[in-house]
Structure 1
Amino acid sequence: MVFFRDIKCEGVDEPAMSRAFCENIEARISQNQVTLFNVILPKLNLLNAKITRLKEVVKMALAEAKENEALVYKLRDMVIYLETSLSKVEEDILEIVKIVKAYDEDRLALITNKKELEAMKDDQVNI
């Protein structure tokens, strides 16, 4: 992950150009935040609802399985499939958590960068 403070003025001497660079990065971060809240979170809520429904279906199937041995084997196969699928979902959620943490770090770096730019601007005015 490249932190903005490490590249903020690389090859750029003018604070205005640095400020434009930071504003561009901030706009991209804002768009990513919109994506997070409008796309990813509803999908996680939908997944949670599907898992809740699946628990209900499994409980009903288990009640019937006591009398039907073939259903027991189908349920066992389904559980194996679910374990594999949930493992992948867990990996994806952990990846989302990493992305959000990186966003927080980049956002903090951007705020720090803006303060430094303002200080540079104030220093130029005082000279």
Structure 2
Amino acid sequence: MDKKKVLIVDDQNGIRILLMEVFNSEGYTTFQAANGKAALDIVNSDRPDLVLLDMKIPGMDGLEILKHIKEIDPAIKVIMMTAYGELDMIKEATKLGALMHFTKPFDIDEMRVAVNLHLRTGSIDQCS
């Protein structure tokens, strides 16, 4: 079975490194990008199974990146990360196909569980 691929998109290096360590240790192949262009290059070349996408990224914001990811491959799962209560953006992200969002500072274990659920079962609706 191929290892599932997780792409972490955040302009904060510390967050990318932390999440890469967590998901590498979970057995995923991880990629990281600090901006939208780098993220979309990776989506095009490596087709990650899931993208952890920060809402606020200099240059191209998370919603724009999300739209492009879904245009490239609608099957790619996206979980948004947001720093503030950006409710309008979160609603918009959900409309565009984001599965869920985490508000920073997020609980790393909750995120790990959510990613594992989405990647191992394909859906988070059934936890029983």
Report the TM-score when normalising by structure 1. Answer: 0.17
* Structure with greater proportional strand content: 2
Higher relative contact order (CA 8 A, sep 6+): 1
* Structure with greater proportional helix content: 1
